[in-house]
Amino acid sequence: MLSFEGAQTLGDAAIVEKLASLPLDGLRHQVATKDAQPCEGGILINVTGQLLAGGESNPQFFCQTFLLKPEGGSYYVQNDIFRLVYGL
Amino acid sequence: MLSFEGAQTLGDAAIVEKLASLPLDGLRHQVATKDAQPCEGGILINVTGQLLAGGESNPQFFCQTFLLKPEGGSYYVQNDIFRLVYGL
């Protein structure tokens, strides 16, 4: 499952469609922190940092959480939560 | 397991000791976003927002990720990752 800025998308095909719809051209990430924990036979990962959209000059804070599960010698993303971080 | 600002602590007793050692007096949280996903029979939760330490005037952005697992009609925190969010 993908939660992107509060919008939930379930299943491979729907998630690929959702990601393809996002305006990611020229987007740059600057990772500030990475944490990983063993979790249910997989790896729970949390990343924070800043991202700069193409053509923008003001970076935005973000955090993204993944649960990676092993399968066939590799990993797949079972859970994915992305949020921009800002005040109210 | 608890990851607090990159420091990992494993096990109930050690986590209680770690949390008791943190300067949380007067700390105020302002939650901006909450996401939850079903995960391994439990609930994966991500919270972002701002916190203001006691005596401070500048709020800091934070994000915190939990995996809650059910047990005996309630839930326990199996994984907990806390980070302040800032630029490099």
Q: B25-82 pLDDT, tens per residue?
A: 889 999 999 999 999 999 999 999 999 988 888 999 999 999 999 999 999 999 999 9
For testing the chain A interface, which of B1, B52, B65 should be mutated: the one with the most A CBs within 10 Å?
B65
Measure CB to CB from residue B40 to each of A37, A38, A40 and give the nearest one.
A40
Q: What is the ipTM of this complex?
A: 0.92
The two tokens of residue A77 are: 């993303």
pLDDT recorded at residue B88: 67
Which domains can be identified in chain A, with CATH numbers? Answer: 2-85 (3.10.450.50)
How distant is the Cα of B77 from the closest Cα of chain A, in angstroms?
12
Identify all chain B residues contacting A30, using CB atoms and an 8 Å cutoff: 87-88
Cβ distance A88 to B50 less than 8 Å, yes or no, reads yes
Cβ distance A32 to B61 less than 8 Å, yes or no, reads no
Asked whether residue A15 carries a pLDDT value surpassing 70, the answer given is yes
Identify the CA nearest to B65 among candidates B33, B28, B24, B88: B33
- Asked if residues B63 and A48 have their Cβ atoms less than 8 Å apart, the reply is yes
Cα–Cα distance measured from residue A21 to residue A49, given in angstroms and rounded to the nearest whole number: 23
Mean pLDDT of chain A, nearest integer = 94
> What is the count of residue pairs from A and B with beta carbons less than 8 Å apart?
103
- If you average pLDDT over residues A25-48, what whole number do you get? 95
Q: How far is CA A22 from CA A16, A53, B18, B29, in A?
A: 10, 11, 40, 31
Predicted model pTM: 0.93
pLDDT recorded at residue B54: 82
